């Protein structure tokens, strides 16, 4: 199963709330969800967390599940994509700032289902240190680092989503992984972020990824197709 993450930013002249509302209520429902190959579809909308940049890199994430490479390719050739979702995108998204990651997700903590309505998720994007191979990075991430992250208080669900091998076929991938850490509420995330376990896990992260390429974003989930436990 391909777990695709698409990071998007509002088009010029649109506020973050307008962008998020259009994505969730219009684009996702009327266009993207009509693509027949999509198995599950989730929109994550950015929420304030920690120091706020004047212009965040992204204001939301689409998470899309596709069965395999063949169905992904087929999805890009459908009229629902070509004449629908693709044509609608410039109305709300600054497509030149979008980043797409096709990943293979490793579930390290499945979490209780369903997620609470007030639940939030911390998304952490990383790039491995120069000189570290992709297999070395993944082994380190799934081993020592995962063990530390799983000690973070209040962590309900934890995924490590690794950029698929195909991204390295002709060069270097922009990013190597997205870590998805779910909590029951904003308060639970804030408590976790202030804990020594969170600090220890983050300090460990900087030992095998490039600190300048670490990007963090807190989000709320909006399921369009399927659910966390489907």
CB atoms within 10 A of CB 20: 23
Is 230 among the domain residues?
no
What's the average model confidence in pLDDT over 164-181? 94
Taking Cα atoms as reference points, which of 193, 164, 35, 169 lies closest to residue 104? 164
Average pLDDT, the chain: 95
Give the tokens for residue 205: 């992260």
Is 7 among the domain residues?
yes
pTM, two decimals, is 0.95
Is 99 among the domain residues?
yes
Is 80 among the domain residues?
yes
Q: Name the residue range of residue 184's domain.
A: 2-225
| CATH number assigned to the domain comprising residue 85 | 3.30.70.100
Is 143 among the domain residues?
yes
Burial pattern 103-140, b for ≥16 Cβ within 10 A else e, equals bebbebeebeeebeeebbbbbbbbbbbeebebeebbeb
pLDDT at 171: 86
pLDDT at 230: 63
Is 181 among the domain residues?
yes
Q: By the 8 A CB rule, do 183 and 122 touch?
A: yes
Alpha-carbon span 189 to 170, nearest angstrom: 38
Is 28 among the domain residues?
yes
For the stretch 29-72, pLDDT in tens is: 999 999 999 999 999 999 999 888 889 999 999 999 999 999 99
Is 75 among the domain residues?
yes
């Amino acid at each position: 199963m391909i777990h695709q993450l698409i990071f998007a930013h509002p088009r010029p002249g649109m506020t973050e709330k307008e962008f998020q509302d259009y994505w969730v209520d219009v684009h996702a429902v009327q266009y993207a969800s009509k693509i027949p190959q999509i198995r599950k579809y989730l929109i994550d909308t950015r929420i304030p967390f920690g120091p706020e940049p004047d212009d965040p890199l992204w204001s939301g994430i689409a998470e899309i599940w596709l069965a395999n490479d063949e169905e992904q390719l087929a999805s890009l050739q459908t009229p629902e994509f070509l004449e629908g979702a693709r044509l609608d995108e410039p109305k709300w998204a600054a497509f030149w700032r979008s980043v797409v990651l096709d990943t293979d997700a490793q579930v390290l903590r499945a979490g209780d289902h369903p997620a609470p309505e007030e639940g939030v998720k911390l998304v952490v994007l990383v790039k491995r240190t120069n000189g570290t191979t992709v297999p070395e990075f993944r082994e380190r991430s799934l081993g020592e680092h995962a063990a530390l992250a799983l000690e973070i208080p209040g962590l309900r669900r934890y995924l490590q989503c690794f950029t698929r091998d195909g991204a390295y076929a002709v060069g270097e991938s922009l990013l190597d992984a997205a870590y998805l850490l779910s909590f029951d509420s904003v308060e639970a995330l804030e408590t976790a972020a202030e804990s020594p376990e969170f600090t220890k896990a983050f300090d460990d992260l900087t030992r095998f990824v490039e600190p300048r390429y670490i990007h963090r974003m807190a989000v709320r989930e909006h399921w369009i197709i399927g659910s966390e436990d489907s």
